Chains A and B, each alone.
Chain A
Amino acid sequence: MGVFTRLAKTFRHGIHPLGHKEYTEQLPIQRMPFCARYTLPLNQHIGVPSSPIVEVGQTLTRGQLIAEPAGFMSTALHSPVAGKVLAIAPRRHPNGQMLESIEIEADPFNDQAFCAESFNVEQDIDFSTLAIEDFIAQVQQAGIVGLGGAAFPSHVKFSLPQGKQIDHILVNGAECEPFLTNDYRLMIEQAEQLLKGAEIARQVLGARSILIGIELNKSRAIKILKACANSKTTRIVPLHVKYPQGAEKMLINAALGLTVPNNKLPRDVGVLVNNVGTLVALAQYFDQGMPLIERIITVSGPGVERPANLIVPIGTPIRELLRFCGGLKQSTQEVVMGGPMMGSAIADLDAPILKGSSGILAFTANESRTPKEYPCIRCGRCLEVCPYFLNPSRLIRLAGARDYESLQQNHIMDCVECGSCTFTCPSGIPIAQRIKAAKSEIRHREKLNKQ
């Protein structure tokens, strides 16, 4: 690994939480058997919820379109199984709310084979000549969103304003969240598909090169992708292990040395960042016509009986997923969707897996105890870790005083809520949570002012 270590790059600040990847990094991706019911919230991406086009009682094939994009900032939704529509009604969303969802009962006698007939995807498309508008429309019809966690509709990312040129397709294989290994397993098991997806993106956008950023704790992925990749266009960038390296702007800074200005997007510096899972989904769609109906997820943590990396249909109830993994240990105290740093705690195990769910983690009292809070002693550790060079100590002081004007002058809105400050605070202050609350208060006030 010596060579990689010497070449490895990173961004400034950040933290080094323990990786805990050992639970699942050796486990090959397994396909989870189909279960009886699936719940698909219409709102599982950033933007406008999709609008349903099916009726209660209607029979569905696997992969059939069940909800259309309701505008440009929206995407399509497909049935993950063959079966029939049970209900279109509010159901529990992982975020705790009851949100409009399509509930599907799987047909127990169907072999659940994917039938590509309903899709007329051309074979052997020349992506370098494919009109960008067609490509964007197809990506939206495929329901592809960013699979790293944020679930930002991918077609929106690919639509560039006039005159913008993308130089580099930056592939996000950092997987800096502890416990998660779904991207790692995907990189070593589906390297060809990943490279194909990246190549599609490169050709469509006319980018010069593909860069794949991978942290050093995933050396096997670095080796495998190095071996498979076309060295003319693709370069693997080894990265030092650090959180939050997978944050878009941090990754660009680490891999390319570029700083994206605060109110700009990666495309403004000629870069497009995509998660590895997203690119594999892209390749699968253009290869087999398969829309985004399943994803790879890591089930891990000390509270899970049998940790695993699984391919699961979108909409699988968390309860079924955990049951397949042997269930929760009785000592379990908290179940988290996503990574332990930025994921959210789940209150109801009947909530489903979403397109953006990268992990289901279960923690026992050992890991998930709220530390006792002490007054801030101004030690400055939060300043030393903040990847955005904010002053979290000052921000929470101002937030306590409800001084929203000063908060904005201190760039509170730049915070990406990575939680490094909370992680590092010796006084146990939930800094990120307070900053998040102040941010939503500021947004709320702005909305009121506009009205």
Chain B
Amino acid sequence: MNKDPKLLVQAPPLLRQQLTTPSAMRDVIYALCPIIFASCLLFGSSALLILLVTVAGAVITEYLFPLNGKRGESLHDGSAVLTGLILALTLPPSLPLWIAFLGGVASIALGKLVWGGLGQNLFNPALVGRAFLMASFPTAMTTWSTEDLKQGFFDIQSSNFALPLMQGQIDGITAATPLGQMKFEQQATAFDQLFWGNTTGSLGETSAALIILAAVFLLWRRIFDWRIPASILLTVAAFSSLFYFYDPVRFPDPLFTLLSGGLLFGVIFMASDPVSSPLTTKGTWLFGIGIGVLVVLIRLFGGFPEGVMYAILLMNAATPLIDRISQPTVFGHGRSATHSRHTP
């Protein structure tokens, strides 16, 4: 031994597992890729433009307002891109681009930065952006056109290019989403159409098959807590079955409720957002059950056909409370502690 190498002195433990926050964000983005691809095929270049513009809105906002550290450093964790993508996939394809951009800005500014940045926000940022757009532009946000699906890939809907502060003319006849049809006309959409995704709706919410594929990928990569999707879907299935068996004519069957609208997308990509969901195991179950009950109640009895967004936002607000009441019993405390002796 000639000379000692320079030795580092660090606090233990020395070993770390592989997963990091940016790699988890990247994995979620990979999981979104098939959905993004499908939405571009289905809705043409309109979808692509909306995705680009929304992500740009999110990323530019994140870049302009660095909370701590150097400007642009917080972009490395990938969360701004992810928020933009998720928000874009909840928007209708005919939305004017300037509105989509504004949504991206609002989701980062109001959904994340005002709270203190990544990890501090109470609500899911993408949903905050969407709620902002729903409140500001209710018509544009709920207009689905028959033209959406008839587009060739290179046709772009003229409404996308509406000037700022203007809303474009929708081509063709407006069409109801499957949930709208159910709510206002009691007309169910066929199962295979819902499953494979050949219906009107937001960019990303139409194909159940692709969302399930993404969920399987994320579970395999151990990115998200399986308890949240499991508890929401089980609750929705159980609760809506109750209504369906009570009056099958008036209420949709559970399978329709599970596959239609933004439920699957919201469950996989927004409710399971770790930042805005509870920390504790028990808490995640309560959180999921709460969302499930609210989704069914809003869809069946509320004014809107869709309730996933409000259900998740309401339960986001309840998260600190859930965390408080669901603390695990510390080892050696409480009832589990034992003085008794037993022979093994």
Binding site for B on A (CB under 8 A): 15, 17-18, 96, 167-168, 178, 208, 211, 235, 237, 249, 253, 255-264, 268-270, 319, 322-323, 327-328, 330-336, 340-347, 349, 363, 367-368, 370-372, 374-380, 383-384, 387-391, 393-394, 411, 414, 419, 422-428, 430, 432-433, 436
Contacts and interface: CB of A to CB of B under 8 A. Distances in A.
B279 A260 contact: no
B246 interface: no
Interface string B325-344: 00111111100111111111
Contact of B339 (A261, A367, A389): A261
A244 to B, nearest CB: 10
A257 B344 CA distance: 8
B341 A368 contact: no
Interface in B178-206: none
25 contacts: A167-B343, A257-B344, A259-B337, A261-B333, A263-B332, A264-B339, A334-B9, A335-B7, A341-B13, A346-B9, A371-B20, A374-B77, A376-B119, A378-B275, A378-B277, A380-B279, A380-B280, A383-B279, A391-B327, A391-B328, A419-B13, A426-B21, A428-B20, A433-B11, A433-B12
Interface string B266-309: 00000000110111110010000000000000000000000000
Contact of B15 (A208, A340, A379, A394): A340
B27 to A, nearest CB: 11
Given A334-B7, A426-B20, A426-B24, A387 B331 contact: yes
Contact of A377 (B17, B21, B281): B21
Nearest to B273: A377
Given A330-B5, A427-B20, A368 B14 contact: yes
Main DSSP-derived SS at the A contact region? loop
A287 B329 CA distance: 46
Contacts of B1: 319, 322-323, 327-328
B119 A432 contact: no
A392 to B, nearest CB: 10
B143 to A, nearest CB: 35
B124 to A, nearest CB: 12
A257 B341 CA distance: 10
B72 interface: no
A363 B14 contact: yes
Contacts of B344: 168, 211, 235, 237, 255-257
B16 interface: yes
Given A388-B332, A414-B331, A17 B338 contact: no
Contacts of B119: 375-378, 427
Contacts of B11: 345, 430, 432-433, 436
B331 A389 contact: yes
A262 B332 contact: yes
A370 B10 contact: yes
B333 A349 contact: no
Contact of A414 (B5, B332, B341): B332
Contacts of A380: 225, 274, 278-281, 284
Interface string B17-28: 101111110000
A428 to B, nearest CB: 6
Contacts of A268: 339
Contacts of B117: 375
Given A380-B274, A380-B280, A388-B331, A167 B341 contact: yes
A249 B338 CA distance: 12
Contacts of B4: 328, 349
A100 to B, nearest CB: 22
Nearest to B4: A349
A263 B323 CA distance: 26
A264 B19 CA distance: 37
B17 A374 contact: no
Nearest to B341: A270
B341 A393 contact: no
Nearest to B319: A378
Given A328-B5, A345-B8, A374-B22, 16 more contacts: A96-B9, A249-B331, A258-B342, A259-B331, A262-B337, A334-B8, A340-B14, A340-B15, A371-B20, A383-B280, A383-B281, A389-B330, A390-B330, A425-B16, A428-B21, A432-B12
Given A334-B8, A380-B274, A427-B20, A262 B13 contact: no
A234 B51 CA distance: 67
Contact of B12 (A235, A343, A390): A343
For B4, B7, B119, B284, the residue with the greatest tally of chain A CB atoms inside 10 Å of its CB is B7
B13 A375 contact: no
A255 B339 CA distance: 16
A259 to B, nearest CB: 5
Contacts of B5: 328, 330-333
A377 B118 contact: yes
A327 B23 CA distance: 37
B280 A422 contact: no
A391 B282 CA distance: 13
B14 A371 contact: no
For A384, A427, A428, the residue with the greatest tally of chain B CB atoms inside 10 Å of its CB is A427
Interface in B233-279: 274-275, 277-279
A256 to B, nearest CB: 6
A391 B280 contact: yes
A379 B274 contact: yes
Contacts of B19: 426
Nearest to B14: A340
A269 B336 CA distance: 13
A64 B187 CA distance: 94
Given A257-B344, A384-B281, A423 B17 contact: yes
A378 B279 contact: yes
Given A341-B15, A388-B332, A394 B279 contact: yes
A97 B332 CA distance: 35
Given A256-B344, A334-B8, A269 B14 contact: no
Contacts of B333: 261-262, 411, 414
Contacts of A430: 11
Contacts of A262: 330-333, 337
B21 A374 contact: yes
For A383, A424, A430, A436, the residue with the greatest tally of chain B CB atoms inside 10 Å of its CB is A383
A18 B12 CA distance: 16
B14 A336 contact: yes
Given A363-B14, A423-B16, A261 B332 contact: yes
A17 B15 CA distance: 8
B120 interface: yes
Interface in B141-178: none
Interface string B215-241: 000000000010000000000000000
Contacts of B329: 389
Contacts of A393: 279
For A260, A322, A374, the residue with the greatest tally of chain B CB atoms inside 10 Å of its CB is A374
Nearest to A250: B331
